[in-house]
Amino acid sequence: MKAEASISPGCLLILAVVGFVIWAVWTSTAAHAQPAHSTREGARGRVCRDTHRTEDRLACVILRETGGNARAREQFAASVGLEPDISFNLDAAAIGWALRNRARAAHRTLNAHLAHYTRRRSFVGRPWTGYLRTGRAWAQRPLLWPRNCTRTETGTRCRWRASWRLTAPYWRRALDAAEGILSGEIRDPCPREPSPVEHWGSDEDARRPQVVEALASGRWVEVDCGPTRNRHYRPRRR
């Protein structure tokens, strides 16, 4: 008859201690590897999808809604005789103020309205805008930055579709614009009487049935906000 193998209580105690030490070291390392969400700089270093700061959320939406295409903005600015940064600043200010106006009309804080807006839109069409970084990491190229890939005999070759180096300065301007809009330093470029602007869209958006119907019925009125790439609308107050 074979003797059954057994582990002495001393060995079990040693194994338990070793296991506890390994667990403690692993959890400590994992904690240090996570971003410091409790600190202001840690929060500012998060991507647009995760940030909770009003300034950062507003900047993320501004860049997304101004097209996220630096070359297109420069071509537009040249067509109307403006410097690219001036053209961008006008659109950024108009959109930022429209969001403020809409939040006020909905009796929401701007932060809550921006959170609802980004969840609803979910960065569709430009998913990389959800990964823009803030704080000290603002200049890092975001994840999902668009690129074109082709298959060759030796494998797959990918090229960036656009230059992040060209777009990054506009992201910096969006961050600065958000702070200026919230502080009131940057004023609304659209007329605020008889009611402020709450909606905007491109020339293509203006052909959508819901926009055409809103304008035809008089619910919306188009407003001139200057040489901006977007069109802007105010609701007709009853």
- Position 14 confidence tier, pLDDT thresholds 50, 70, 90: low
pTM, to two decimals: 0.73
Q: What pLDDT score was predicted for residue 182?
A: 94
Distance between CA atoms of 104 and 108, rounded to whole angstroms?
6
Q: Is residue 127 part of a domain?
A: yes
Q: Is residue 15 part of a domain?
A: no
Given a cut of 70, is residue 115 above it in pLDDT?
A: yes
Q: Is residue 213 part of a domain?
A: no
- CA-based diameter of the chain, in Å? 99
Q: How many domains does the chain have?
A: 1
Q: Is residue 165 part of a domain?
A: yes
Q: Is residue 232 part of a domain?
A: no
Return the structure tokens found at 65.
Answer: 């809604």
Q: What pLDDT score was predicted for residue 206?
A: 92
**Average pLDDT value for residue range 101-119:** 88
Given a cut of 90, is residue 85 above it in pLDDT?
A: no
Quote the radius of gyration of the chain (alpha carbons, Å).
26
Q: What percent of the chain has pLDDT over 70?
A: 75
**Average pLDDT value for residue range 106-127:** 80
Given a cut of 60, is residue 1 above it in pLDDT?
A: no
The closest alpha carbon to 234, from 191, 180, 181, 205, belongs to 191
Q: Is residue 5 part of a domain?
A: no
Distance between CA atoms of 91 and 61, rounded to whole angstroms?
12
Q: Is residue 160 part of a domain?
A: yes
CA distance readout (Å), 140 to 39, 158, 172, 204 = 20, 19, 11, 31
- What is the signed CA dihedral for 58, 60, 64, 65, rounded to 10 degrees? 0
DSSP helix/strand/coil, 139: coil
Domain that holds residue 106: 41-188
Q: What pLDDT score was predicted for residue 71?
A: 79
The closest alpha carbon to 166, from 235, 66, 65, 71, belongs to 71
- Backbone angles phi and psi of 213, in degrees to 5: -65, -40
81: left (phi over 0), alpha (psi -120 to 50) or beta: left
Span between the terminal Cα atoms of the chain, in Å: 97
Q: Tell me which of 41 and 16 has the higher pLDDT.
A: 16
Contacts of 123 (CB under 8 A, 6+ apart): 48, 49, 64, 129, 130
Q: Is residue 217 part of a domain?
A: no
